[in-house]
């Protein structure tokens, strides 16, 4: 299958607290974005990598352009697009820039910069075996509960539990998420009619495909694919660079 990767890197990175987009934050002496890009190219699964960057970020754009020159002939086509206001908008900008003849697409968060090759290959294998949609996931170690704000104005605590999900049925979902291109295009087209509140609740691409009724398959993810979000994650990622868990 001719496969493209849309690398979404247009987030603000506010939770990391570096005062710069997360993709630009240094990890082991190099921006997070470069680790993500090198990982995708090294996996060898893609004909095209389309990177959604924060609009107007010349530094990140130059970095990608330099990497494009560094890529030997025969490497994937590197395309740069301006991301949008939401993650889904950034994905849609990527979808609009894919080459004719693309069969499948993987959407990957730049924040999961240390995703091992094996995960890209498990997704590619499931797509090749006929899946319309496939995501990597790992077991959940915490007990997960739903909560709501306390009726009594925060007394004696701000939230109260509304339910406990059975842990054996839960999975923590990662990226890259793989789709046959028409499946993801249809899902994103349908998402245009969501109201703002519904749109804000969309946190991954699989969710949009689920809404269309297409089965989403699950393969094994990796603890190394952590989403670098907080300063603690950055410490963990630095540690993984010293020596992967295997
Ligand atoms: O903020 P969130 O955790 O959803 O970000 C997940 C990924 O989506 C990050 O890699 C981020 O750069 C990307 N993103 C984007 N465009 C946005 C918001 C997030 O490309 N508007």
pLDDT digits (tens, 9 = 90+) for 224-238: 999 999 999 999 999
Tell me which residue has its CA closest to atom 17 in ligand 1. Answer: 87
Beta bridge partners of 135: 218
The number of CA neighbours under 13 Å toward the Cβ of 228 is: 36
Give, in order, the Cα–Cα distances in Å from 138 to each of 81, 142, 173.
Answer: 31, 12, 7
Tokens at 52, concatenated: 């959604």
Tell me which residue has its CA closest to atom 14 in ligand 1. Answer: 11
Ligand 1 within 6 A of CB of 11: yes
Instruction: Tell whether the model's pLDDT for residue 246 goes beyond 70.
Output: no
What is the pLDDT, as a whole number, of residue 152?
Answer: 75
10 CA distance to ligand 1 centroid (A)? Answer: 6
Please report which helix (H) or strand (E) contains residue 84, including its range: none
Spell out a b/e string for 86-101, using b for 16 or more CB atoms within 10 Å of the CB, else e: bbbbbbbbbbeebeee
What is the pLDDT, as a whole number, of residue 143?
Answer: 97
Give the pLDDT confidence of 193-233 residue by residue, as tens digits: 999 999 999 999 999 999 999 999 999 999 999 999 999 99
List the CATH number of the domain containing 84.
3.90.550.10
Question: Domain total for the chain?
Answer: 1
Ligand 1 within 6 A of CB of 21: no
Ligand 1 pocket: which of 111, 204, 237 to mutate (most atoms within 8 A of CB): 111
Residue linked to tokens 């890197």: 9
- pTM, 2 dp: 0.96
Work out the average pLDDT over 68-76.
86
8 CA distance to ligand 1 centroid (A)? Answer: 6
Residue linked to tokens 């934050």: 25
Tell me which residue has its CA closest to atom 1 in ligand 1. Answer: 11
Ligand 1 within 6 A of CB of 90: yes
Rounded Cα distance, 80 and 93, in Å = 10
Residue linked to tokens 């009619």: 193
Q: What is the DSSP string of 48-74?
A: EEEEEE-TT-HHHHHHHHHHHHHSPTT
Among the atoms of ligand 1, which is closest to the Cα of residue 84?
Answer: 21
Instruction: Tell whether the model's pLDDT for residue 138 goes beyond 90.
Output: yes
Q: Whats the size of the chain, residue-wise?
A: 246
Domain hosting residue 22, numbered range: 3-242
Ligand 1 within 6 A of CB of 50: no
Rounded Cα distance, 188 and 184, in Å = 6
Give the pLDDT confidence of 142-172 residue by residue, as tens digits: 999 999 999 877 788 999 999 999 999 999 9
Residue linked to tokens 């690398």: 7
């Amino acid at each position: 299958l001719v496969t493209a990767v849309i690398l979404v890197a247009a987030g603000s990175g506010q939770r990391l607290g570096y005062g710069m987009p997360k993709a630009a934050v240094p990890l082991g002496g190099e921006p997070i974005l470069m680790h993500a890009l090198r990982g995708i190219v090294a996996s060898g699964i893609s004909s095209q990598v389309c990177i959604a960057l924060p609009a107007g970020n010349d530094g990140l754009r130059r970095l990608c352009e330099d990497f494009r020159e560094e890529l030997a002939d025969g490497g994937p086509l590197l395309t740069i697009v301006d991301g949008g206001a939401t993650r889904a908008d950034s994905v849609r900008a990527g979808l609009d820039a894919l080459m004719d003849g693309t069969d499948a697409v993987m959407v990957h968060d730049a924040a999961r910069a240390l995703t091992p090759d094996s995960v890209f290959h498990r997704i590619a294998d499931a797509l090749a075996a006929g899946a319309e949609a496939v995501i990597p996931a790992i077991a959940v170690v915490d007990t997960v509960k739903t909560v709501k704000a306390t009726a009594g104005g925060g007394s004696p605590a701000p939230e109260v539990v509304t339910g406990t999900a059975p842990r054996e049925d839960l999975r923590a979902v990662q990226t890259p998420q793989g789709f046959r291109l028409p499946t993801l295009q249809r899902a994103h087209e349908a998402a245009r009619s969501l109201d703002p509140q519904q749109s804000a609740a969309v946190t991954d691409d699989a969710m949009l495909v689920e809404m269309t009724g297409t089965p989403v398959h699950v393969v094994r993810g990796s603890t190394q694919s952590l989403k670098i979000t907080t300063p603690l994650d950055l410490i963990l990622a630095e540690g993984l660079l010293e020596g992967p868990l295997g």
